[in-house]
Amino acid sequence: MSTRAALVAEAATTNPYEELLAQWGDMQAALGFVLHRPREVHDFIPKIRQLDQWLQELVAQDVDATLYLMLQLASTNAVGYSTSHALVCAALCHILGLELGLPRTERDTLVRAAFTMNISITELQDELAERADPINAHQQSAVNRHAARSRALLEQLGVTDALWLDAVASHHSFQQDRAREPLKNLTVRERLVRTLATVDRYAAFISPRKSRTGRSATESMRSLLGHDVSRSDEVGFILVRTIGLCPPGTYVKLDNGDTAIVLRRGESTSFPVVASLMDASGETYAQPGLHHTANGKPRIVNALPGNSVSMGANHHTMVRMGLMACGHL
């Protein structure tokens, strides 16, 4: 083996998640081009399928690392909002599709709809996320019409999958009288639209704008579920059961005063593995402290909005710490 090949092999062995982080960045860039310039993309539908396959492969490597990166992407950065929102929604829809046991064709449609549901207002979404002033009447009109216009644009780009088109056109207009029906009683179309609508709302809640901070993951989930448990959305319950009230990538306050970040879901999504980043006085730890909250102490007091924490986390270090804590490295 050549010296260069040996170094490459050693790097791949030593830093397998450095490559994973780079691939997520590459995928976001590729998706951003497709969403911003869809008419310039040769073979639009095959490109979306390629992005879907890429997403599946990355999620298959590590679901917790996916959640960590997606929640960090959504909750700490408003730049490139439309693309990051689409990627977060697609990743969550894929994970939910697996949890729901959706047939492959339904899962494919759901994820592709998540990628493209806002394709007609990609640039406007980015602009609004970066502006602190209120939305004007013209912009509001575009937002109100974006679902139908996205469907029309997809049709012009060659999409003929009726479920894909219907999910995009209806993701903001699901009938409320059907929103509390058990999933098993819904048609395929209704099930996909309801799942997409729930994921879209959750991702929007946690994402910051210049005009407002994002909500914490816990606040976002409670907004989805509401106060009346008997009338809560089944998709929301499955989402919280799958990713947790404080999913990986969420900043949390511990009962010892520390500010920490959730690394992995642990054996139970209610008791994740976390790493302390700052003490009660706001001083940064030289080395993050690892805690299995299932052991009882420290305990998570509440989740924090992502952009309320001034320091950033080294994502490569955090992902590796989580893997080591669970015996995967």
Output the furthest CA–CA distance in the chain (Å, rounded). 66
* Residues whose CB is less than 8 angstroms from the CB of residue 88 and which lie 6 or more positions away in sequence, other chains included: 70, 71, 73, 74, 203, 207
Q: With cut-offs at 50, 70 and 90, classify the pLDDT of residue 5.
A: very low
| DSSP codes of every residue in 230-264 | GG--HHHHHHHHHH-SS-TT-EEEETTS-EEEEEE
Which pLDDT score, from 0 to 100, does residue 111 have?
98
Residue 260 has pLDDT above 60, yes or no: yes
Residues 6 or more apart in contact with residue 91 via CB below 8 angstroms? 55, 59, 66, 67, 70
Q: Which helix (H) or strand (E) holds 290?
A: strand 284-292
**Residues 6+ positions from 293 with CB-CB distance below 8 Å:** 266, 271, 272, 273, 274, 299, 300
Any idea which of 47-61, 214-228, 270-284 has the lowest mean pLDDT?
214-228
Max mean pLDDT among 172-186, 214-228, 277-291 falls in 277-291
273 DSSP β-pair partners: 264, 292
How many residues are recorded in the chain? 329
Give kind and range of the element (H or E) at residue 201: helix 188-206
Summarize pLDDT for 222-256 with one digit per residue, the tens.
666 664 444 557 888 888 889 988 889 889 999 99
pTM of the model: 0.86
Q: What is the pLDDT of residue 312?
A: 66
Are 203 and 88 spatial neighbours (Cβ–Cβ below 8 Å)? Answer: yes
In the three-class reduction of DSSP (H, G, I as helix; E, B as strand; rest coil), residue 1 is classed as coil
Average pLDDT over residues 77-102: 88
Buried-exposed string 252-265: b where 16+ CB fall within 10 A, e elsewhere:
bbbeeebbbbbbbb
pLDDT digits (tens, 9 = 90+) for 143-201: 889 999 999 999 999 999 999 999 999 988 766 556 678 888 889 999 999 999 989 98
- Tell me, what's the pLDDT at 15? 59
- Of all residues in the chain, the percent with pLDDT exceeding 70 is 81
**Mean pLDDT across 279-300:** 90
| pLDDT given at position 208 | 62
pLDDT given at position 316? 75
Percent pLDDT > 90 in the chain is 45
pLDDT band at 329 (very low <50, low <70, confident <90, very high): low
